[in-house]
Structure formats: C-alpha cells, structure tokens
C-alpha cells in the first residue's frame, strides 16, 4: 500500500493524510506544489487564464479541501 504523487497531487496527499485519515504505508512525493493556491496561480499564469478563472479554481479547491489548507 503506497502512493506516488507529482505536482498538485503531491500537495493533495499530505492534506488527505492530515485531514481525512488517508494512511498509505509509504508515500513518494515528486516535486509537490507548495500549496494549492500557489499551484493555481502558477498554472493560471502559465496557460494564460484570466484572473476570474483562477479565482474560480481557487474556490473549487477551497470547497474540496477547506480554507485551513491555505495556511499549511
């Protein structure tokens, strides 16, 4: 039982472990995003998303993982 995650998944795995009790035997995180908020900003800038779309992505992340994740 293990999980391997990269980028945004690398940020999501520790959140799942801390907040919902996800407990893999081992975890490998490859270049994890610093935070969901940093990832959305970088991704949005890279692909040229308008600010309103980036804000929409952030609202979706907050609904799924909660605002507390912004402070991790």
pLDDT beyond 60 at 69: no
Half-sphere exposure of 50 (CA within 13 A, CB side): 2
What is the C-alpha separation between 61 and 59, in angstroms, rounded?
5
Tens digits of residue pLDDT in 48-68: 999 999 889 888 878 877 765
Q: Which of 38, 15, 40 is nearest to 27 (CA)?
A: 15
**Which alpha helices (DSSP H) does 20-50 contain, by range?**
36-47
Q: Structure pTM?
A: 0.62
């Amino acid at each position: 039982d293990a999980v391997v995650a990269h980028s945004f998944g690398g940020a999501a795995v520790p959140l799942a472990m801390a907040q919902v009790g996800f407990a893999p035997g081992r975890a490998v995180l490859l270049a994890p995003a610093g935070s969901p908020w940093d990832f959305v900003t970088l991704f949005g800038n890279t692909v040229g998303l308008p600010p309103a779309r980036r804000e929409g992505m952030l609202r979706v992340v907050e609904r799924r993982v909660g605002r507390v994740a912004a402070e991790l």
